[in-house]
């Protein structure tokens, strides 16, 4: 509120601030040290203040308040002052204004904030409102920064990492990763069993059509994520919620393109659109995924579910091999040993209990078909390991990004893969139909219902696995998926009635041991990386969809 003005018996104003200045002979005050609003009555140090237009306006407003003249207040407010209605509530201000319109932290070189208010040289000028204009409603914007000043914004400040913060960030990231690991394991097992059931027992062996439907279903990942976020932030207005979510995805895409968390390091194109990069990245990553995934659907009708899962999940080894040149990941003895133990466990599960086959033609044909299926899925394993590393390299935010931001962008990119599949990869369907390689036919009845559940489980696995890669690494995610080998073997036991063999038990224990070793190694590596960062340039440790502030 404005400073209280007390009138004496003779009509003069009693100004305690100027009396103190007169008594103690203080040096001239500056705008950075003066607590009161004295810009409206700047004087020369005499006992009476100088009459300025600012003082006349304030006295007129005081008389209007005392006499109850509402008409004057309405006219004066609209005519003389520029109020910002959104500034009455800071939350409304943040909801209705972009961070780009917020004033910067630093003033430019032409600012007079450090100039003494009582400097007699400026009293002869025409600037009657040189000081800070008093207003309870308006927030004036600071001038633009000069190029000689460093560019900072209120949406991003640098802060040091404490050891407790480092451990908390790593722990929170691992908690999220553990949840999505369990979700990916369950969904993958259900999808594997349903796919084998549909092709082998229901005889709907349309490998590419099933691939097209399952990968196309990934398009629902982003809408479902948006719905969940909206339910959690239902008290926020939709325009504000949508703007924040859009800006979050946009800035994360720029981080992915530049592979840098600090967007201010790229001043030439600070708001350049990253969508062309995203489309190009989606195209070649989806192609690698499609070829690898197609091998899985081709082999599912040629080999057993146990062999299919075991060989396909050997992608952990190839993911580690590709991570060294593409991700510049150093060779670590503990990681290498864990991957080798996992691959050995896979081979024990797949071939440890194999027995000599009979000499009849049926068994020989089955063995030959199984070998062909294993070779096909072996090629798919290599391509799937490459897909995981390509996704981590070209479609994930750089290290140091918060888990919330990484999860949001992972599901968004998954939807991009689904959209590319639906809009582009339908082209082979008529070609396969005309050539007679695979006649196009949609399932009906019970088969369609089972296919629907398989598609839903595949979309669930895809979303959770993409998040898992984004939070950890392709190697850890691949080794974690090896746990499905033992789970699928147990599921086959309950479904077919055949008990687990000794090889399945030993191989499963080896895989779980390797996963434990790799998890410990990854945890230690994540902690070392976080501790090595002296400065955090992200906006917040809690980069959720609603709390993100965009520069």
pLDDT digits (tens, 9 = 90+) for 152-163: 444 444 444 556
Q: What is the mean pLDDT of residues 333-356?
A: 76
pLDDT at 524: 77
Q: Determine the average pLDDT of the residues in 237-257.
A: 92
> Which candidate, 335, 5, 403, 329, places its Cα nearest to that of 179?
403
Give the pLDDT confidence score for residue 95 in this predicted structure.
42
Q: Which residue bears the tokens 């082998």?
A: 200
Chain centroid, CA 41 distance in Å = 52
How far from 528 is each of 159, 166, 399, 480, CA to CA, in Å? 18, 9, 12, 21
Mean pLDDT of 450-465: 90
The answer, yes or no, to whether residue 260 has pLDDT greater than 80, is: yes
The H or E element spanning position 343 is helix 333-351
Length in residues, the chain: 551
| pLDDT given at position 10 | 55
pLDDT at 413 over 80: yes
Tell me the two tokens of residue 473. Answer: 């690494």
Given this model, what pLDDT does residue 125 score?
46
In the three-class reduction of DSSP (H, G, I as helix; E, B as strand; rest coil), residue 267 is classed as coil
Q: Which of 157-166, 259-268, 285-294 has the lowest mean pLDDT?
A: 157-166
Burial zone of 330 (CB within 10 Å; 0-12 exposed, 13-18 middle, 19+ buried): exposed
The reported pLDDT for the residue numbered 115 is 53
Q: Which residue has the higher pLDDT, 65 or 134?
A: 65
pLDDT of 82 over the 60 cut: no
CA nearest 431: which of 129, 135, 208, 159?
Answer: 208
Q: What distance in Å separates the CA atoms of residue 48 and residue 44, rounded to the nearest whole number?
A: 9
What is the rounded average pLDDT of the residues 58-69?
60
Which of 79-88, 236-245, 485-494, 524-533 shows the lowest per-residue confidence on average (mean pLDDT)?
79-88
Residue 456 or 357, more confident: 456
The fraction of the chain above a pLDDT of 90, given in percent, is 14
pLDDT at 538: 45
Neighbours of 374 (CB within 10 A): 20
Judged against a pLDDT cut of 90, whether residue 282 lies above it is answered with yes
Say whether pLDDT at 74 is over 60: no
Under 8 Å between Cβ of 38 and 131: yes
User: What whole-number distance in Å separates Cα of residue 322 and Cα of residue 328?
Assistant: 9
Burial class from Cβ neighbours inside 10 Å (0-12, 13-18, 19+) for residue 505 reads middle
Given this model, what pLDDT does residue 504 score? 75
Q: Which residues of 223-262 are buried (b: 16+ CB within 10 A; e: fewer)?
A: eebbeebbeebeebeeebbeebbebbbebbbbbbbbebbe
pLDDT exceeds 90 at position 11:
no
pLDDT at 216 over 90: yes
pLDDT at site 71: 54
Query: What predicted TM-score, i.e. pTM, was given to this entire model?
Result: 0.60
What is the rounded average pLDDT for all residues in the chain?
71
Which sign, positive or negative, has the C-alpha torsion 325, 331, 335, 336?
A: positive
Pairing type for strands 535-536 and 159-160 reads antiparallel
Q: What share of the chain is helix, strand, coil (3-state, %, to 5)?
A: 65, 0, 35
Mean pLDDT throughout 410-439?
Answer: 92
Residue 497: pLDDT over 70: yes
What is the pLDDT confidence band of residue 312, given thresholds at 50, 70 and 90? confident
Q: In this structure, what are the phi and psi dihedrals at residue 172, rounded to the nearest 5 degrees?
A: -65, -40
d(CA 20, CA 47) in angstroms, rounded, equals 10
* Whether pLDDT at 62 is above 70: no
**Average pLDDT in the 383-388 region?**
87
* Per-residue model confidence (pLDDT) at position 218: 92
Q: How many CB atoms lie within 10 A of CB 351?
A: 13
Nearest to 104 by CA among 144, 139, 52: 144
Interval 280-285 mean pLDDT: 91
Q: Which residue has the higher pLDDT, 190 or 22?
A: 190
The pLDDT confidence band at residue 142, using thresholds 50, 70 and 90, is very low
Report, as an integer, the average pLDDT of 429-455: 90
CA proximity to 267, closest of 98, 157, 395, 152: 152
Identify the pLDDT of residue 112.
Answer: 53
Quote the distance between the C-alpha of residue 126 and its chain's center: 52
How many other CB atoms sit within 10 Å of the CB of residue 24? 7
Q: Give the residue from 461, 507, 447 showing the smallest Cα distance to 189.
A: 461
User: Is 529's pLDDT higher than 80?
Assistant: no
Q: How confident is the model at residue 295 (pLDDT cuts 50, 70, 90)?
A: confident
Assign 30 to helix, strand or coil: strand
Per-residue pLDDT, 38:
40
Question: Would you give the DSSP letter of residue 309?
Answer: H
**Structure confidence at residue 360 (pLDDT):** 56
Q: Band of the pLDDT at 58, cuts 50, 70, 90?
A: low
pLDDT at position 246: 92
Q: For residues 57 and 3, which has the higher predicted lDDT (pLDDT)?
A: 57
When pLDDT is cut at 50, 70 and 90, the band that residue 24 belongs to is very low
Rg (CA), the chain: 34
Distance CA 431, CA 433 (A): 5
Tell me the DSSP string of 421-445. HHHHTTTHHHHHHHHTSS------H
Please, which pLDDT band fits residue 537 given cuts at 50, 70 and 90? very low
The H-or-E segment that residue 13 falls in is: strand 13-14
Q: How far apart are CA 180 and CA 178, in angstroms?
A: 6
In three-state secondary structure terms, 89 is coil
**At a CB cut-off of 8 Å and minimum separation 6, what does 72 contact?**
60, 61, 64
With a pLDDT cut of 70, the percent of the chain lying above it is 60
Q: What is the reported pLDDT for 421?
A: 93
Which ranges of 197-220 does DSSP label H, i.e. alpha helix? Answer: 207-216
**Distance in angstroms (rounded) separating the CA atoms of residues 242 and 408:** 13
Q: What is the pLDDT of residue 239?
A: 93
Distance in angstroms (rounded) separating the CA atoms of residues 233 and 227: 10
Residues β-bridged to residue 13: 7
């Amino acid at each position: 509120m404005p400073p209280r003005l007390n009138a004496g018996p003779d009509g003069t104003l009693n100004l305690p601030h100027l009396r103190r200045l007169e008594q103690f002979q203080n040096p001239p005050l500056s705008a950075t040290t003066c607590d009161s609003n004295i810009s409206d009555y700047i004087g020369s140090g005499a006992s009476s203040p100088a009459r300025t237009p600012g003082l006349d306006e304030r006295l007129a407003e005081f008389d209007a308040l005392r006499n109850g003249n509402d008409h004057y207040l309405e006219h004066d407010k609209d005519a003389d002052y520029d109020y910002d209605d959104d500034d009455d509530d800071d939350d409304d201000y943040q909801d209705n204004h972009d961070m780009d319109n917020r004033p910067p932290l630093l003033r430019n070189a032409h600012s007079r904030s450090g100039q003494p208010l009582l400097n007699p040289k400026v009293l002869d000028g025409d600037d009657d409102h040189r000081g800070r204009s008093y207003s309870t409603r308006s927030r004036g914007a600071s001038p633009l920064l000069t190029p000689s000043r460093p560019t900072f914004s209120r949406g991003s400040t640098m802060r040091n990492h404490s050891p407790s913060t480092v451990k908390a960030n790593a722990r929170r990231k691992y908690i999220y990763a553990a949840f999505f690991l369990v979700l990916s394991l369950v969904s993958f097992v259900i999808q594997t069993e349903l796919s084998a059931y549909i092709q082998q027992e229901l005889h709907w062996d349309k490998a590419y059509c099933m691939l097209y439907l399952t990968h196309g279903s990934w398009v629902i990942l982003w809408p479902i994520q948006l719905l969940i976020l909206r339910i959690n932030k239902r008290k926020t207005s939709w325009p504000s919620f949508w703007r924040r979510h859009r800006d979050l995805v946009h800035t994360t895409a720029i981080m992915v393109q530049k592979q840098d968390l600090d967007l201010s390091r790229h001043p030439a194109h600070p708001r350049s659109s990253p969508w062309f990069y995203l489309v190009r990245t989606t195209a070649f990553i989806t192609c690698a995924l499609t070829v690898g995934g197609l091998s899985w659907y081709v082999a599912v009708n040629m080999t057993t579910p146990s062999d299919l899962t075991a060989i396909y999940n050997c992608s952990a080894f190839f993911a580690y091999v590709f991570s060294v040149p593409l991700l510049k990941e150093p060779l670590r003895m503990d990681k290498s040993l864990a991957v080798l133990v996992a691959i050995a466990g896979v081979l024990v599960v797949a071939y440890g209990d194999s027995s000599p086959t009979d000499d009849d033609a049926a068994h020989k044909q089955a063995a030959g078909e199984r070998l062909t299926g294993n070779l096909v899925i072996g090629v798919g394993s290599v391509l799937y390991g490459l897909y995981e590393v390509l996704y981590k390299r070209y479609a994930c935010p750089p290290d140091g990004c918060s888990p919330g931001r990484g999860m949001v962008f992972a599901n968004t990119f998954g939807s991009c893969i689904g959209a590319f599949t639906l809009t582009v990869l339908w082209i082979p369907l008529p070609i396969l139909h005309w050539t007679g390689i695979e006649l196009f036919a949609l399932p009906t009845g019970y088969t369609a219902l089972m296919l629907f559940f398989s598609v839903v489980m595949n979309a669930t696995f895809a979303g959770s696995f993409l998040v898992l890669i984004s939070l950890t690494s392709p190697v850890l995610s691949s080794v974690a998926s090896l746990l499905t080998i033992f789970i699928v073997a147990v599921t086959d036991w309950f479904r077919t009635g055949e008990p687990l063999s000794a090889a399945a038990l030993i191989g499963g224990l080896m895989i779980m041991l390797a996963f434990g070793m790799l998890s410990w190694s990854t945890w230690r590596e994540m902690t070392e990386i976080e501790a090595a960062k002296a400065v955090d340039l992200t906006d917040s440790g809690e980069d959720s969809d609603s709390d993100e502030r965009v520069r």
